Amino acid sequence: MNGFRLTTKAPDSQARAGELHTAHGTVPTPIFLPVASKGTVKALSPDDLKTIGVEMLLANTYHLYLQPGIAVIEKMGGLHRFMAWGRPILTDSGGYQVFSLAGLRRVSDDGVVFRSHIDGSEHLLTPELAINYQESIGADIIMVLDECAPPEASRAQIEEAMQRTHRWAERCKKAQSRNDQSLFAIVQGGSYPDLRRMSAEYLASLDFPGYAIGGLSLGEPKKTTYEMVDATVPLLPGDKPRYLMGVGSPEDIVEGVARGIDVFDCALPTRVARNGALFTDTGRINIRNAAYREMPGPVDRACDCYTCRTFSAAYLHHLFNARELLVYRLTTIHNIRFMVRLMARMRAAIEAGAFAAFRKQFTENYRPTDERVRLEQKEKWLKKQSNAGAETI
């Protein structure tokens, strides 16, 4: 039942279209997964997600482990039932969060000891526990535990983390007891193309049902992200899905698809929405800008989302000024709908043999946010997250 079927390969790039089959249904690729860290895409209900056209979500094992706890989710019948979402879910293993959010890490071959960013309590995560937790949560696609070395690490440290990730991948595979979940491996290797190739080649030999590229989107320049994808993709099996973890600005996704990536996840579209930044085909606008104070039209005339069909930019501007709760939902609806439409437009272009033209046109029109600004925003957010439980918006 589970598996991946390639349906179209673009003649003019690495881009491809396919279908991902899971225990909770089939989804088309390339696909973008909104992030439901704690079992909710912030500010949206499952009905909102269905209306928007979202077909699959990502949830974070680390966050769910801390709140409400794996045992609660298991008792409530698994995450699908707990959050009332009947479509596919992918869970990460907790590796990325443990290495980016949690404090005081001690890594050994056995696993990693970390401190909760909420209350400072100490916890152990091993490859076996990561699988165990993800089996209790019950996602359709689950991930191996990986070690994410920080970008400032030395080559030796990055290579060591990669080797450990490989050993952990094998242990994760052995630890699997459910056969209705697909376990994806994660390629590491920092910003070294040769390490990335080595990692891809080794993991490919272990025959996983899918492959992720991890350890990117950590603050490296976009150029590096793309180079690492270019180094990795040719060594991954062509008939297996490829997942670029944590990368999800519109411009990055277009470049990722062009390089043969099938699956993306990222908190950026929802996070920036709650900050007033809205995607359009010409780039991001910020609704808090005084220019929108008396704008009677929608934020994006090309958009068919509930927000754009119903409300003026002036109303959203007012709600933001007044810090009204409704606005976070409305801006999130818009950004996620933008992502869903972007993926559909890319699939259509691939199927029509016109992806290169789509990519050219999109890139010419879309003005990416200055990279420095983007990274500052992300750092601010990560800092806020690790301030014990203070995060609301």
Binding site residues, its own copies, CB under 8 A: 38-40, 42-47, 67-68, 72, 75-77, 82-84, 274, 293-294, 296, 306, 310-312, 314-315, 317-319, 321-326, 328-330, 389, 391-393
Q: Choosing from 92, 140, 146, 252, which is the catalytic residue?
A: 92
**At which residue do the structure tokens 């040719």 appear?**
234
Of 200, 217, 298, give the one whose Cα is nearest residue 253.
217
Strands 263-265 and 242-244, sheet pairing: parallel
Annotated catalytic residue: which of 140, 146, 262, 265?
265
Q: What would the two tokens of residue 196 be?
A: 């990335």
Minimal distance in Å, beta carbon 42 to its own copies? 6
Other C-beta atoms within 10 Å of 139: how many? 26
Distance in angstroms (rounded) separating the CA atoms of residues 4 and 28: 10
Task: For the CB of residue 390, give the shortest distance to its own copies in the complex, in Å.
Answer: 9
User: Is 92 a known active-site residue?
Assistant: yes
- Per the CB < 8 A criterion, the answer to whether 107 and 118 are in contact is no
CB of 216 to its own copies, least distance (A): 27
Closest to its own copies by CB, 14 or 307: 307
Nearer to its own copies, 63 or 240 (CB): 63
Smallest separation, CB 41 to its own copies (Å): 8
For the bound state, the minimum distance from the C-beta of residue 287 to its own copies, rounded and expressed in Å, comes to 13
- Residue 110 vs 294, nearer CB to its own copies: 294
Q: Which residue lies nearer to its own copies by CB, 293 or 383? A: 293
Catalytic residue check, 304: no
Nearer Cβ to its own copies, position 352 or 393? 393
- Which lies closer to its own copies via its Cβ, residue 326 or residue 348? 326
Task: State the minimum distance, in angstroms, from the CB of residue 94 to its own copies.
Answer: 16
Place of tokens 């991948």: 169
List active site positions. Answer: 92, 265
